[in-house]
Amino acid sequence: MSARQADADIIAAIVTPPGKGGVGVIRVSGDNLKSLVYAWFGRMLPPRHAVLLPFHDDNDQVIDEGLAIYFPAPHSYTGQDVLELHAHGNPVILAALLRRSHQLGARAAQAGEFTLRAYLNDKMDLAQAESVADLIAAGSESAARSAVQTLQGNFSRQISDLVDQLVLLRTQLEAILDFPDEEVDFIVSFDIINRVQMLRSRIQDILLVSQQGKLLRDGLRVVLVGQPNVGKSSLLNMLAGDDVAIVSEQAGTTRDALREMLVLRGVPVQIIDTAGLRDTSDPVERKGIEKSWQSIKQANLCLLLVDAVHGLTDSEQGIIDQLPAGLPRLLVHNKCDLLDEIPPASNDELYVSAKTGFGIEQLQDSLLGLGGWQGHDSSLFMARERHLQALRDAGQSLELAEQSAGVLELLAEHLRVGQQALNTITGEFGADDLLGEIFSHFCIGK
């Protein structure tokens, strides 16, 4: 039985997106829905069977006819009794059905409350619960697949295995510290520091994979900057495969930041075309330039475009000098089709033609590489910044543990802090469980 406990009251909500559709679904969840089901339909429903029924209001008038499915606890999404009504996807009908569920004792569900109850009833851990929202919001097929990996528990199992090994180390140390007279020679001879180093290495491996998953979840924000008429809007159109930005020979055409969502190699990428950066007396253009700098500060990567004919000038160097410190940038020479000979590309500088498409594929690879993308495989799982920070904290604690090898009490404390950091990812294994682990593994109590 879990120590966590979900609220006992009944909640209800429309779980399909707003608007009209072929089917709309009402979900109701609570500790005991038998009386609500009987009050609505005059009989109980067979478990996990779709039954075609009329849905009546409080005046016994038919609201709609559809499928009712009853999921008795614990075999449901929330771990409680769940009733789902599959009706026609008309907002008026769904609102009437939701109103009727309120009349029968349900209250309006809060945002995320069904998944919260699933977590509280041990149907999923925190990482899996978060992946539900990530799956719904996934911006690419690769992101969706990675979210499914997390939802199925692949990420959680790796974290749980790390926690199990940390618990084993902690129990061995506690045995040494608390029961020095017992026969624990095998514990003393155990290479604890070597195990700590191995765990640190595993944490680093998981962190690298998690960083890739975070890229799939959050995507990249890439800002196009440069002087007017270097071809930023043309490059945006080429990357997007459509005329999403106005292209003109007149300088200052782009007055506001244009945003276009792309998917490159499975990674969601937001390309932001900004106003040309230059000194101007035009108040409207000047406002657009101010917004350009705001977009630059929020970006993950900067593509600085220059005209390949005249190359990098003092004006572009002035832009480079003002870019935020630490912001990755790629110098892109556009209009290389006007050159007699195209120079070789490098890691941070390449040549493209937004007119002919030359170098565009290499540009895509370069911006993904600078953004941290190392390629997708089936082992990736969705991750959030809090997961990455927890892994970093755990790694740091284990590094401190290595440095404390001569002081067992300090070593044990750093292992505890490291385990606590990992626990925040899944929300499992509280500190109070350690005593039980010690006695169940070593039989050292009398």
CA distances from 341 to 9, 115, 337, 351, 446 (A): 74, 59, 9, 11, 85
- Into which CATH architecture does domain 11-123 fall? 2-Layer Sandwich (3.30)
Distance CA 304, CA 322 (A): 12
Domains 11-123 and 141-214+382-442 share a fold: no
Kindly write down the DSSP assignment for every residue of 60-103, as one continuous string: S-EEEEEEEEEE-TTSSSSSSEEEEEEEEE-HHHHHHHHHHHHH
**Stretch 404-424: mean pLDDT:** 88
Q: So what's the pLDDT on residue 276? A: 54
The helix/strand/coil state of 241 is coil
The helix/strand/coil state of 392 is helix
**Banded pLDDT at 378 (limits 50, 70, 90):** low
3-state per-residue secondary structure call for 326-383 = CCCEEEEEECHHHCCCCCCCECCEEECCCCCCCCHHHHHHHHHHHCCCCCCCCCCCCC
**Stretch 263-276: mean pLDDT:** 79
Residue 89 has pLDDT above 90, yes or no: yes
The phi-psi region of residue 153 (left if phi > 0; otherwise alpha if psi is between -120 and 50; otherwise beta) is left
Q: So what's the pLDDT on residue 268? A: 86
**Residue 22 carries which side chain, given as an amino acid letter?**
G
Query: Which range, 134-143, 194-203, 287-296, 337-346, is most confident?
Result: 194-203
Task: Assign 3-state DSSP to the chain and report helix, strand, coil percentages, each to 5.
Answer: 45, 20, 35
Q: So what's the pLDDT on residue 350? A: 92
Using DSSP bridges, classify how beta strands 11-14 and 21-30 pair: parallel, antiparallel or unpaired. antiparallel
**Stretch 193-212: mean pLDDT:** 90
405 with 414: CB under 8 angstroms? Answer: no
Question: Which tokens is 205 given?
Answer: 């491996």
**Banded pLDDT at 252 (limits 50, 70, 90):** very low
Distance CA 414, CA 404 (A): 8
User: To the nearest whole number, what is the mean pLDDT of the chain?
Assistant: 82
Question: Which tokens is 446 given?
Answer: 């009398």
Residue 105 has pLDDT above 60, yes or no: yes
Hey, where are the domains in the chain? Answer: 11-123, 141-214+382-442, 227-299+301-359
Pinpoint the alpha helices (H) of 179-258.
185-188, 192-218, 232-240
Task: Indicate the burial class of 41 (C-beta count within 10 angstroms; 0-12, 13-18, 19 or more).
Answer: middle
Residue 158 has pLDDT above 80, yes or no: yes
Q: 227-299+301-359: CATH homologous superfamily? A: P-loop containing nucleotide triphosphate hydrolases (3.40.50.300)
CA distances from 201 to 50, 176, 198, 392 (A): 50, 25, 5, 12
Q: So what's the pLDDT on residue 253? A: 44
Query: Which pTM was predicted?
Result: 0.74
Residue with tokens 């003109």: 248
Q: So what's the pLDDT on residue 181? A: 54
**Banded pLDDT at 285 (limits 50, 70, 90):** low
**Banded pLDDT at 63 (limits 50, 70, 90):** very high
Distance CA 336, CA 55 (A): 67
Query: Of 91-95, 334-338, 382-386, which gets the smallest average pLDDT?
Result: 382-386
The helix/strand/coil state of 296 is helix
Class of domain 141-214+382-442 as given by CATH: mainly alpha
